[in-house]
Amino acid sequence: MKINNSKNSVEALLVLAGIKINGVNPWDVRVHNDKFYRRVLSLGSLGLGEAYMDGWWDCERLDEFFFRVLREDLSKKIRLDWRTLLEIALAKIVNRQSKKRAFHVGERHYDLGNDLYEAMLDKRMIYSCAYWKDAQTLDEAQEAKLDLICRKIGLEPGMEILDIGCGWAGFAKYAAEKYRVEVTGVTVSKEQEEFGKNLCKGLPVKIRLQDYREVNGNYDRIVSVGMFEHVGYKNYKNFMNVANRCLRNGGLFLLQTNGMNESVTSTDLWLNKYIFPNSMLPSIKQLGKACEELFIVEDLHNLSSHYDKTLLVWHQNFEKNWDKIKSNYNERFYRMWKYYLLMCAGAFRARKNQLWQIVLSKKSVVGGYYSIR
């Protein structure tokens, strides 16, 4: 395909979303390498992201660019090459979230370096959507989210809590200190395990390097915040079976997860390659099927707009603190991370991605469950 034909095709696609090549709006793109056009048409989102990482194009407001691209479903208007289609097909066959692969995402993403996450996140190192209802700062919004979770599952002193995918143990520490409960947290990240153990010294908190499939014991409450995205559709039922096995009768399980409006069996190829290997977002249909005969859905709370704002603040913090940490990374990583944060912000703004907090009960709540906001 000649460059002129490729350029015309890309320009025609972008016009549908109100985006121009070398236009004057902050969401317009500036192309520095004419090979950009063919790369995008053959590789789709993977080509678009890699071209940005390589400096082939720029955009003043990436979040607004993606908001417009995703709102118009431009990706569905591109005919991808055979290699890209093969990658998507393989995701339906191979269990990329198998037990054997469980620690890949920890090594590739969460173990990148605590300096990166300390520069970007709040003081508690919470790497999931914040709750901005009455908050002005990221610290306030993340604490509000933690307290919202605790209130939704009715924590009481002495309860035993399981945190599946505990991150840097921010929830475990908060719940143990404020609600006087015992917490067991599991993670597939060595950096998170070490950080969490140091953070929670002296508290009734245990942090384990462990895949969710290996978890045993009985708990009064279970939480899983921002981890289900790594489970994969072939394992959704198994995950729910584990949670059901570990939750005592009458107990509550709060699941916070990103989600999709439609059921998929693969993820964005660029995100899979560079950010979250083997990740996948569930649909309500897939979640419902996984919960059948195991849990009652007591409450579903959509917090998507809160994630748009959270990601923008993370990006602001990343930019503000980049000079402090850039000696440990490089310019291509900087462009990759910026692209990741702002692409996701645009996806939530366009409502292509959702963020749900779901309260599940085992053997129901006597008298009914009252939603808390």
Q: 166 an active-site residue?
A: no
- Answer yes or no: do 158 and 211 share one domain: yes
Domain residues for 178? 99-361
Residue 88's pLDDT is: 47
91 located within any domain: no
Could you tell me if 139 and 69 lie in one domain? no
- 59, 166, 291, 344: which one is catalytic? 344
Phi/psi-derived region of residue 278, left when phi > 0, alpha when psi is between -120 and 50, beta in every other case: left
> What does the pLDDT read at residue 199?
97
Domain count across the chain = 2
Q: Answer yes or no: do 67 and 128 share one domain.
A: no
Residue 106: the pLDDT is 47
Q: Same structural domain for residues 121 and 260? A: yes
With a cut of 50, list the residues of the chain below it in pLDDT: 1-2, 81-82, 85-86, 88, 105-106
Using the 3D structure, point to which of 19, 51, 80 is the last residue of a domain: 80
- Judgement on whether residues 174 and 218 belong to the same structural domain of the protein: yes
169 vs 183: CA distance, rounded Å: 10
In a domain, 221, yes or no: yes
Provide the pLDDT for residue 92. 52
Beta-strand pair 205-209/182-187: parallel
pLDDT at 109: 58
| 366 domain residue, yes or no | no
- For residue 87, is it within any domain? no
CB 186 within 8 A of CB 165: yes
In a domain, 22, yes or no: yes
Residues 74 and 104 both lie in one domain: no
Q: Is residue 234 part of a domain?
A: yes
Q: What is the pLDDT of residue 85?
A: 44
| Same domain, residue pair 217 and 349 | yes
Residue 108 within a domain:
yes
| pLDDT of the residue at 94 | 54
Cα first-last separation, the chain: 54
**Token pair of 210 as six digits:** 């462990």
Give the β-pairing of 57-59 and 160-164: unpaired
Q: What is the residue-wise DSSP string for 111-123?
A: TS-HHHHHHHS-T
Q: What's the whole-model pTM score?
A: 0.90
- Are 234 and 306 within one domain? yes
Query: What does the pLDDT read at residue 80?
Result: 52
For residue 317, being part of any structural domain is answered with yes
Domain-terminating residue out of 80, 114, 131? 80
What pLDDT is attached to residue 363?
85
Residue 87: per-residue pLDDT:
52
pLDDT of residue 91: 53
* Of 80, 114, 146, the domain-final residue: 80
Domain CATH for 106? 3.40.50.150
Q: Which residue has the tokens 């950009």?
A: 36
Say if residue 73 is in the same domain as residue 103: no
How far is 293 from 289, CA to CA, in rounded Å?
Answer: 9
One domain, residues 63 and 115: no
Give yes or no: residues 169 and 233 share one domain: yes
Which of 75, 141, 106, 110 lies closest to 309 in space, CA to CA?
141
What is the pLDDT at residue 104?
Answer: 52
Separation of CA 19 from chain center? 27
Considering the domain architecture, whether residues 35 and 153 belong to the same structural domain is answered as: no
